[in-house]
Structure 1
Amino acid sequence: MSQWKQIQQLDIKFLEQVDYFYDDNFPMEVRQVLATWIEGQDWETASNHESMAAVLFNNFLIQLERQCSQEQNFLHRHNLKRIYQQLQLKYKTNTLHMATIISSCLREERRIISTASMQEQGPLEKSLQNSEAFERQKNMDNRVAIIRSSVQMMDQTVKYLEDVQDDFDFRYKTLQSRDPAEKNSQCMKQEVLTLQEMLNHLDFKRKEILSKMTDIIKEIDSFVTSQLNPELMDWKRRQQIACIGGPVLTGLDQLQNWFTLTAQSLFQIKRQLDKLGELILKVTYESDPIPIQKPQMEEQVKYLIYHLIKSSFVVEKQPCMPTHPQKPLIIKTQVQFTTKVRLLVKLPEVDYQLKVKTTFDKDLPPGRVNRQFFILTNNTKVMDVEESSNGCLSVEFRHLQLKEKKYPSGTKGNEGPLTVTEELHSLSFEAQFCMQGMNIGLATCSLPLVVISNVSQLPGGWASVMWYNLLTDEPENLAFFSSPPRASWSQLSEVLSWQFSTFAGRGLNKEQLSMLGEKLLGELLCLPHHIYWSKFCKENIPGKPFSFWQWLDSILELIKKHLLPVWIDGYILGFVSKETERALLREKESGTFLLRFSESHLGGITFTWVEQPENGEAKFISVEPYTKNRLSALPFADIIRDYKVIADGTVPESPLKFLYPDMPKDEAFGKHYNSQQNKGKERLLTPPQCSSPEPPMSPGMFDILNEQISPFEIASAVSVL
């Protein structure tokens, strides 16, 4: 089944996540009509190779034009033509960007499919998608609507008060203009009594309006404090989790709606208070409640506006290099990165020339970091209305670059205990908001960044990003790795599974996670044990020259580049100990094999099969792990298909018959085979006798033999385990 068909069969909550990342940059209509063709292209590779991206873009336009000509529905054909013209104009000079967008969309689809297929959600994901979320948001919608309605009704009340006051003012001035000789007349006395009654009514209405305004202001204050601010904090926490592979981040448009309606209500109350100030210039009296209460109410409203506007200035997209879209918050020096800030208050009266300035490591205390950097490119841009995104006010910095500051000859920067990838930095944003006489300084900052100077530091940097965003919601805790907290296995295992669903399209099941947990914790896995940062990333696995994270990250890279289709199909058990492997294969038919990742090599995969002799115990035979160097030229499915051994001069035959538990080999891997089988030399090696096991062939010896002998036909490094 195609990936797009799998998407269409998901529950509505997952479809809403898919809807989030399809927009004018890559419309869903195109994804629908070109589904099969799009899934057949290598967008991941094209996103890093300009010539390939250009070819794919040209073919993309050809496919879309052909679909337009074949479309029978007039409206659909019209929409496709319009999309064709828009995409052609948008990407004809930036085909890499389009390849990156499509690659990212396909990757997110695989991640969502993987999430939907898991029977249980982890504790982090449950906390982010709890059953109360819908009711909470519905309550906020209702509360904002009530506030908005009350404020608009207050406009009518103020207008009524103005009419009552104008009537009183007119009659009062008319009375003042009359002849003093009539002062004691019965008519004059009656008029004075009427005026007194009107003044009493006016005083009552003024007190009533001020009381209602006070209640509305209190309600807004309560809403902002008890619901809106926590919802914003929850969104920021979900953004952290999305950065490290968690659920797709949604809800910003909804937040903008709440912020905007609340801000509109506050500015409207401010105008109403200004109007009351105008009224007392015409009519006031002793114990008039307006001059007594209005100043304090104005201060409350300004305070609420000030804090609402300041908190509405957010980083919508955290800093990220386009070359590594799945690994935000890692920046390589002198490589372009992008970031985007947004104002969640959408008001037509706002001065839209909001100039945003970005600064790196603003006001960082001396000695906090070993290295210092500055922004090499233009660091100031003007916010604008984004037509394609709910008309929000935003600005995207697309071409930022960092450069390290050089110290004078003979001097060094600060030296500390933290490694390069543990050193955290920050990108700050500042702007000035002006409206209705209010001048508000806006400031926000990115999540902590890791700055690297070499791509070899990328795995360590990503480990730091994961650890930080997993364990803290403090956005400016740049000293985090001075004393990093421990992680529980339940927390860490969920994030590790996300890495596989994000980067490889399929998460890890309980059994696979259990093996990883045992590798980290041993027998302590069954206990509520915590994992130290050093254990996860810095210390080598006992008896190995690499750490746990280096080992796991190398497997992720291997899957992504060489094993992706087989991994997505679920045919790689992957994380299986040798003991478990034997237990699984022991009772199986001869030729049953399974695929697992090497524990002794970085980024290696091996297969083991079982042989059931007529007399005696089952024998288990494995091969030297295949690493990226060997798989770069040999598709793994073809290796499985063509793998043969020879023993005692017999005819070469494949020992691999059934993929565990009992699936015929060709049924499992057939769709991934190349059309041509290997036609190499008929030279094979005789495997060691099962009764006299030998150690596996060394990688160096294998490479020597591999140059001379066809790899498909080598019983390479076969050994009895």
Structure 2
Amino acid sequence: MSQWKQIQQLEIRLLEHVDYLYDDNFPMDIRQGLASWIESQDWDTAANDESMAAVLFTNLLSQLERVRSQEQNFLQRHNMKIIQQQLQVKYSTNPAVMARVISTCLREERRILSSACTQEQGPLEKSLQNSVAFERQKNMDNRVGIIRGSVQLMDQAVKYIEDMQDDFDFRYKTLQSRESADRNSDMMKQEVTRLQEMLNRLDFKRKEILSKMDVVIKEIDDLMTSQLNPELQDWKRRQQIAAIGGPLLTGLDQLQSWFTLTAQSLFQIKRQLDKLGELVVKVTYESDPIPLQKPQMEERVKYLIYHLIKSSFVVEKQPCMPTHPQKPLIIKTGVQFTTKVRLLVKLPEVDYQLKVKTTFDKDLPPGRVSRQFFILTNNTKVMDIEDYSNGCLSVEFRHLQLKEKKYINGTKGNEGLLSVTEELHSLSFEACFTVQGLTIDLETCSLPLVVISNVSQLPGGWASVMWYNLLTDEPRNLSFFGNPPRASWSQLSEVLSWQFSTFAGRGLNKEQLTMLGEKLLGQHASCSDYQVSWSKFSKENIPGKPFSFWMWLDSILELIKKHLLPVWNENYIMGFVSKETERTLLKDREPGTFLLRFSESHLGGITFTWVEHSDNGDVKFNSVEPYTKNRLSALPFADIIRDYKVISDGVVPENPLKFLYPDIPKDEAFGRLYNSQPSKVHPYIPSTLIPISELRPNSSATPPSCQSPEPPMTPGEFDMLSEQLCFDIDTMSSPYSE
């Protein structure tokens, strides 16, 4: 079933997450109309290859034109034409951007599908869902709406006071213009009485409006303290979790709406206070409440505006290299990276020429890190309104690049105890915001970054990024790895499952996580609250192995992503299962039943084990030497399963693999994943690379380290060797028990 068909079968709660993915950058109409074609293209590669992206962009327009020409509905055909024109305008000069957008959407779809397939949600995801509960958002919407309505009513009240004062001022000046002889007349006395009544009413209305303003200002203050700021902190925490593979991040547009409406209310109150100040110039009197209360209220309003605007300056997209979009917050020197900041307050009167300057490791204390860097490229840009979104004010830095500072005599000075991937750095953003006579210095910073100089440091850097964002919400704790906290297994296992859903499209089930827990924790595997140290996860080698737990797991992720993705996503790889469990599962199965699991002794290896039954009832298990990325680069894994042969004592070789555990016929499981055979009109007889193992009586005694990798053989090579019954051990691999 195609990915898009699976998406359409999700429950409404998850479909709402899908809805957030699609906008004018990549309309859902295209995703729907070109679903199969879109899923068959390599958008990940095209995102970093301009020429390939250009070809895919041209093909997409052609596909869209084809679908449009076949569409019978006139309105739908018209909409497709508009979309086609918009895409040409937006991406014709930079098709790689389109490829990145589509790649991101497909990846997030896989993540949503993975979360739908997970039996139980982990503690992190549960807490995230609770924090953005619908009822809380609804309450916030209502509260902001009530404040906005109250401020609008105060506008009418101020206008009423102004009209009343104008009437009073006119009558008062008219009375003053009368002749002095008329001032003692009864009519004049009545007029004075009327003016006194008007002044009393004016005084009452002034006190009333000031009292209402005071109530609304207190309400806004409480809203910001008790709800708005916590909502922002909650979004920032969810951004951290999304960065390491957690649930899709949404809610920034909703936050912008709340921030904007609150800011509009505050600025409107400020204008109302200014208007009351103008009225005092025209008419004032003893014990006038406006001069007494207005200065203090103005200071409170300015204070709230100041803090609202400052907190609305956020990093919308954390620093990320376009070459590794799924691993943000890791920057390689000399490689361009992107980041984006946004102002959550949208005001028509704001001067949009807002310059943002970015600085690396601003105010970093001396001696904190052993390496220092500077931004090589232009570090200042102007914020602008995004026409293709909701009109937010933002700026994206797309071509930032870091360079390490050189030191005298080639020394780096302070050599810290931390490794390169444990050193944390920060990217700061500064701007000066001016509106309605207020000047506010804005500053925000990215989450801590890991800077690497070689791609071999990428796995270690990603481990640091995961550990930090899992265990703390402090954005400036750059000394975190000086004494890193422990993680509970329940937390860590959830994040590990996210890695597989993000990078491989399908997360881990309970049984697979249990095996990983046993490998990492041993006897403590059954305790979900067992605390795992940073060193045990990423730095210490697994007992008896020359690599750490994380290096082993990361190599498996890479193997799946590059060579096993179709088989993994079909749920055919049991993957994480111990040798003992493997034998327990297979011993009572039909001969030739096999299962696929990841090697525990090789970095990035996959093996298969099949069961055999002898005539006397003995059960035998055979495991082939693990296939690693080098061997899988030459032959797809599904074809290996199809063509695998075993030679034993010169007997004609046969494929021992019959049923994928528990009882699925091999061809039924893998048939659609086999490479298609060459066309029959081809002038040559097709040849096939065949993986072969030689099964020797003493094969179980041969240590795996002594066995050489087996290159696939063509039928011709095999026939020649078979006739001579001379098999060169150096060209074979043998089944073995890992």
Q: Report how far residue 680 of structure 1 moved.
A: 4.7
Distance 1:167 1:330, change over 3 A: same
Pairwise CA distance, 1:588: 0.9
Which position in structure 2 is the counterpart of 1:622? 623
Q: Find the residue that maps to 1:490 and give its secondary structure.
A: helix
Q: Is the 8 A contact 1:680 1:710 kept in 2?
A: no
DSSP 3-state at the match of 1:266: helix
Aligned position for 1:159: 159
What is the count of residue pairs matched by the alignment?
720
Shift of 1:168: 1.6
State the shift of 1:683 in Å. 9.8
Q: Which residue of 2 aligns with 1:535?
A: 536
Distance 1:664 1:681 in 2: 22
Cα offset, 1:646, TM superposition: 2.6
Are the equivalent residues in 1 in contact too, given 2:263–2:308 (CA < 8 A)? Answer: yes
Tell me what 1:689 maps to: 697
* Conserved? CA contact 2:43–2:99, under 8 Å: yes
Measure how far apart 1:51 and its partner are. 3.5
Give the Cα separation in 2 of the matches to 1:257 and 1:166: 37
Deviations for 1:633-682, whole angstroms, at most 9, x for unmatched residues?
10000000111113233332111111111111111101100123983588
One-letter code aligned to 2:735: V
Alignment of 1:250-269 (within 5 A): 250-269=250-269
Residue 674 (structure 2) pairs with residue 657 (structure 1) = no
SS at match of 1:693: helix
Post-superposition Cα deviations, 1:164-203, rounded to whole Å, max 9, x if no partner, equal 1112212222222222223333222222222222111111
CA distance in 2, matches of 1:252, 1:535: 37
> Secondary structure of 1:542's match?
coil
- 1:679 pairs with 2:687: yes
Alignment of 1:586-665 (within 5 A): 586-665=587-666
Question: Could you tell me which residue of structure 2 aligns to residue 580 of structure 1?
Answer: 581
Q: TM-score, normalised by structure 1?
A: 0.96
The residue type paired with residue 701 of structure 1 is S
2:130 maps to 1:141: no
- Counterpart contact for 1:624–1:696, Cα < 8 Å: no
Cα distance change, pair 706–694 in 1 and its aligned pair in 2 (3 A) = farther
Q: Counterpart of 1:449?
A: 449
Report deviation, 1:88: 3.0
Shift of 1:123: 0.6
Q: Counterparts of 1:191 and 1:231 in 2: how far apart (Å)?
A: 57
Cα separation, partners in 2 of 1:5 and 1:424, compared to 1, 3 Å: same
> CA 1:549–1:73 in structure 2 vs 1: closer, same or farther (change >3 Å)?
same
Shift of 1:335: 0.7
* CA positional deviation for 1:615: 1.8
Aligned to 2:298: 298
Which residue pairs with 2:396 in the alignment?
A: 396
- Which SS does the other structure have where 1:348 is aligned? coil
Deviation for aligned residue 1:720: 5.2
Query: Does the C-alpha gap of structure 1 residues 373 and 255 become closer, same or farther in structure 2, counting only changes over 3 Å?
Result: same
Consecutive unaligned residues of structure 1, counting only runs of 5 or more, are none
Cα displacement (A) at 1:65: 2.0
Deviations 1:303-331 (A, max 9, x none): 00000011001010111111100001111
Tell me the secondary structure at the aligned position of residue 645 of structure 1.
strand
Question: C-alpha distance in 1, partners of 2:495/2:18?
Answer: 21
1:689-711 deviation line (CA, Å, top 9, x unaligned):
38x73235447622579799679
Root-mean-square deviation (CA, aligned residues, Å) is 2.1
Deviates more, 1:602-611 or 1:193-202: 193-202
Q: What residue ranges of structure 2 are gaps of 5+ in the alignment?
A: 679-685, 723-730
Between 371-380 and 598-607, the greater mean CA deviation after superposition: 371-380
CA displacement 1:396-415 (0-9 Å, x = unmatched): 11111111111122543321
Whole-angstrom CA distance in 1 between matches of 2:106 and 2:426 = 30
Q: Is the 1:683–1:710 contact (alpha carbons within 8 Å) kept by the matching residues of 2? A: no
1:696–1:718 CA contact under 8 A, matched in 2 = no
Could you tell me whether the CA contact under 8 Å between 1:694 and 1:720 is conserved in 2?
no
Change in CA separation of 1:498 and 1:684 when aligned onto 2, cut-off 3 Å:
closer
Partner of 2:568: 567
Inter-partner Cα distance in structure 2 for 1:306 and 1:683: 69
2:720 is aligned with 1:701 = no
CA contact (8 A) 1:685 1:715 kept: yes
Question: 1:32 Cα shift?
Answer: 1.1
Q: Does the 8 A contact of 1:595 with 1:606 survive in 2?
A: yes
- Name the CA distance, whole Å, in 1 between partners of 2:691 and 2:307: 77
- Correspondence 1:212 to 2:212: yes
Task: Note the 1:502-517 alignment, pairs <5 A.
Answer: 502-517=502-517
Work out the CA distance in 2 between the residues paired with 1:652 and 1:715.
Answer: 13
1:190 matched to 2:207? The reply is: no
- TM superposition score normalised by structure 2: 0.94
Give distance in 1, aligned partners of 2:706 and 2:477. 44
Bigger Cα displacement from structure 2, 232-241 vs 693-702: 693-702
CA positional deviation for 1:72? 1.9
Partner amino acid, structure 1, of 2:183 = K
81-90 or 165-174, larger mean C-alpha shift: 81-90
In 2, the alpha carbon distance for the partners of 1:710 and 1:123 equals 55
Per the alignment, residue 726 of structure 2 pairs with none
Change (3 A) 1:615 1:508: same
| DSSP-derived class of the 1:719 partner | coil
The correspondence of residues 542-553 of structure 1 with structure 2, limited to 5 A, is 542-553=543-554
Aligned equivalent of 2:735, options 712, 718, 721: 718
Distance 1:611 1:289, change over 3 A: same
CA distance in 1 between partners of 2:26 and 2:560 (Å): 27
Q: Which deviates the most, 679-688 or 2-11?
A: 679-688
Which digits, 9 at most, give the CA deviation of each residue in 1:321-354, with x for residues without a partner? 1110000111111111111111101111111111
User: What is the letter of the counterpart of residue 688 of structure 1?
Assistant: R
Counterpart position of 1:353: 353
Q: Which moved more, 1:60-69 or 1:694-703?
A: 694-703
What is the CA-CA distance between 1:111 and the residue it aligns to? 1.2
Amino acid at match of 1:32: Q
**CA offsets 1:410-469 (integer angstroms, 9 cap, x no match):** 543321001111111111111111111001111111111111111111101100000000
Distance 2:651 2:707 in 1: 28
Give the whole-Å Cα distance in 1 for the aligned partners of 2:60 and 2:293. Answer: 66
Moved more, 16-25 or 273-282: 16-25
- Distance in 2 between residues matched to 1:101 and 1:267, nearest whole Å: 37
Distance 1:538 1:682, change over 3 A: closer
Instruction: Look up the equivalent residue of 1:428 and give its one-letter code.
Output: S
Structure 1 residues 609-652: Cα deviation after superposition (integer angstroms, max 9, x where no partner): 11122323311110000000000110000000111113233332
Q: Is 1:94 aligned to 2:94, yes or no? A: yes
Pairwise CA distance, 1:18: 1.6
Match for 2:575: what amino acid? G
1:311-326 equivalences under 5 Å are 311-326=311-326
